[in-house]
Amino acid sequence: MLRSVAPNAPETRSLARRVLASEQSPAVLIGALSALQAGAADPDEAAQVVAQLTTLSQHADPVVRSRSLQQLGQWDKSGESGPRLAQAPGDSAPEVRQAAIFAIAQTGARDPGVKDSLLALAANGQESRDVRGSALQVLERFPLSKEDYAHFARLRAQLQAQ
Residue 35 has pLDDT above 90, yes or no: no
Asked if 69 contacts 88 with a C-beta cutoff of 8 angstroms, the reply is yes
- Per-residue pLDDT at 42: 75
Domain spans in the chain, listed from the N-terminal domain onward: 2-161
- Per-residue pLDDT at 9: 66
The reported pTM is 0.87
- Per-residue pLDDT at 7: 53
Residue 11 has pLDDT above 80, yes or no: no
Pick among 3.40.50.720, 3.30.2020.30, 1.10.10.10, 1.25.10.10: CATH of 2-161: 1.25.10.10
Quick one: 118 exposed, middle or buried, by C-beta within 10 A (0-12, 13-18, 19+)? buried
Q: State pLDDT tens for residues 76-97.
A: 988 888 899 999 999 999 999 9
Q: State pLDDT tens for residues 39-64.
A: 777 778 888 889 999 999 999 999 99
Instruction: Report the mean per-residue pLDDT for the chain.
Output: 89
Region for residue 96 given its phi and psi (left: phi exceeds 0; alpha: psi -120 to 50; beta: otherwise): alpha
> Average pLDDT, stretch 94-110?
93
Residue 66 has pLDDT above 90, yes or no: yes
Residue 146 has pLDDT above 70, yes or no: yes
- Per-residue pLDDT at 135: 96
